[in-house]
Amino acid sequence: MKTLSNIYSTNKKQNLFLLFLSLYCAILLLFRAKITQSIFYFFLIWNLFLAAIPYLILQFAKQKIQILENVKTRFILFTSWLLFLPNSFYILTDFVHLKKGKPELFWFDLVLLFSFAVLGFLFGLLSLKEFKNYFSLFYSKKTLLIIIPTICFLSGFGVYLGRFLRFNSWHILTNPFSLILEAFQTLFTSEALFFSALFGSLIYITFLIQDTYNGRL
């Protein structure tokens, strides 16, 4: 609890805003469940939790900044962060479920999905910003100009693996060989490359916009 309190205190304005958006999303979801007597969209809670993990990982690192001085620890932390990062942007693809809802609730469901997608995407962008801040302590700006777009592309590919091949971040631990093999085989297909480049460019452009304004909310 103390660690969570410290994470919240690090940037109260930003974290309070994220909590407010989370509450708004929860209210929309509960209201829909009440009027439809259905928990169909409750999977959004889990997806949003996964979307927040990369942000929380780097917020935790901010409390233990000394661990980044060790190369091996830094590698493990950033690798873990990278494996979970696509979850922040994956939630945008949940719009595919819009067609499964009730026609009379189309606009409500649209706002519901949009709210969760915006919050998840925001977690990802703020996480990328934190990564850039940490990375700049150890590497040059020129390296960052290569690393950030590469991460965006890999995130796009991660979204592809999740949406079309139905892999999850934890499969790297529970089913690593299948994940690595299928990822390697799929990466060089035109469909995967196009999707990854398309989604990755969206992530990178929105990150540049956010970074231009210093991520201020």
What pLDDT does 102 receive? Answer: 85
Structure tokens at 55: 């942000």
What pLDDT does 3 receive? Answer: 58
What pLDDT does 215 receive? Answer: 45
What pLDDT does 89 receive? Answer: 97
Task: Report how far apart, in Å, the C-alpha atoms of 143 and of each of 70, 136, 137, 146, 161 are.
Answer: 19, 9, 12, 5, 27
pTM for the full model? 0.90
Among left, alpha and beta (phi > 0; psi -120 to 50; other), residue 21 is: alpha
Query: Are 94 and 110 in contact, with CB atoms under 8 Å apart?
Result: no
What pLDDT does 181 receive? Answer: 84
What is d(CA 156, CA 36) in angstroms, rounded to the nearest whole number? 34
What pLDDT does 139 receive? Answer: 80
Domain extents in the chain: 2-212
What pLDDT does 5 receive? Answer: 64
Task: Report how far apart, in Å, the C-alpha atoms of 101 and of each of 22, 38, 44, 207 are.
Answer: 22, 11, 14, 31
Mind listing the pLDDT tens digit for each residue in 109-168?
A: 999 999 999 999 999 999 999 999 888 888 888 888 899 999 999 999 999 999 998 888
What is d(CA 96, CA 68) in angstroms, rounded to the nearest whole number? 39
SS (H, E, C) 73-134: HHHHHHHHHHHHHHHHHHHHHHHHHHHHCCHHHHHHHHHHHHHHHHHHHHHHHHHHHHHHHH
Would you give the DSSP letter of residue 170? Answer: T
How does residue 22 score in pLDDT terms, banded at 50, 70 and 90?
Answer: very high
Structure tokens at 136: 């700049």
Flag whether pLDDT at 21 surpasses 70. Answer: yes
Contacts of 81 (CB under 8 A, 6+ apart): 54, 57, 58, 127, 131
What pLDDT does 214 receive? Answer: 66
What pLDDT does 7 receive? Answer: 63
Flag whether pLDDT at 69 surpasses 90. Answer: no
Q: Across all residues in the chain, what is the average pLDDT? A: 88
Flag whether pLDDT at 46 surpasses 70. Answer: yes
